[in-house]
């Protein structure tokens, strides 16, 4: 171990030893505390780095693999299963339905009726009512209001597009 340390040491000021010192070996304490030399783990060759890290973990009492306690494990397994099924269903839906084509179709069918056409006048009128509002907030709020008012129509267009997609 000390030969590995000697080969891969780099000189750096080391002033934050406090809490970490309890986990250090005597040799590491000597290098960190007295000599003010910091060990750069990235300085270790890749084939030796993993062995070093695994050795230090074992010395610290870390087991090679962790299995959560039974009460937590059941919930974690259920959550993982739910997420796996959700991902698979979403993938199947994405393969069956062209969401972007539906969004484009609905947008174009509603654009003339719902999009602000007199934007500058509309924004200036809103500024008189709400001087602190930004122009983008005014536009966004109005588009959301118009879209909410057309919610049922939009849902019907989407339903129709999904059914005819297959």
Confidence of residue 32 (pLDDT cuts 50, 70, 90): low
pLDDT at 114: 96
pLDDT at 65: 79
Which of 25-29, 66-70, 79-83 is the most confident on average?
Answer: 79-83
Angle between helices 151-165 and 99-114 (to 10 degrees): 150
Kindly list the distances between the CA atom of residue 12 and the CA atoms of 9, 17, 30, 36, in Å, as whole numbers in the listed order. 9, 13, 14, 7
**Positive or negative CA dihedral for 21, 25, 30, 35?**
negative
* Cβ atoms within 10 Å, residue 147: 13
pLDDT at 58: 83
Helical segments of the chain, H only: 2-8, 26-29, 46-59, 70-96, 99-114, 119-129, 135-149, 151-165
């Amino acid at each position: 171990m000390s030969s590995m340390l000697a080969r891969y040491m780099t000189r750096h000021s080391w002033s934050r030893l406090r809490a970490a010192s309890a986990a250090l070996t005597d040799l590491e304490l000597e290098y960190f505390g007295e000599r003010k030399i910091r060990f750069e783990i990235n300085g270790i060759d890749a084939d030796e780095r993993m062995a070093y890290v695994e050795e230090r973990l074992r010395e610290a009492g870390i087991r090679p693999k962790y299995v959560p306690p039974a009460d937590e494990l059941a919930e974690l397994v259920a959550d993982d299963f739910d997420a796996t099924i959700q991902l698979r269903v979403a993938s199947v839906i994405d393969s069956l339905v062209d969401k972007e084509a539906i969004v484009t179709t609905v947008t174009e069918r509603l654009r003339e009726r719902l999009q602000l056409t007199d934007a500058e006048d509309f924004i200036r009128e809103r500024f008189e009512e709400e001087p602190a509002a930004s122009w983008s907030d005014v536009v966004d709020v109005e588009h959301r209001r118009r879209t909410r008012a057309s919610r049922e129509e939009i849902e019907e267009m989407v339903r129709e597009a999904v059914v005819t997609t297959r």
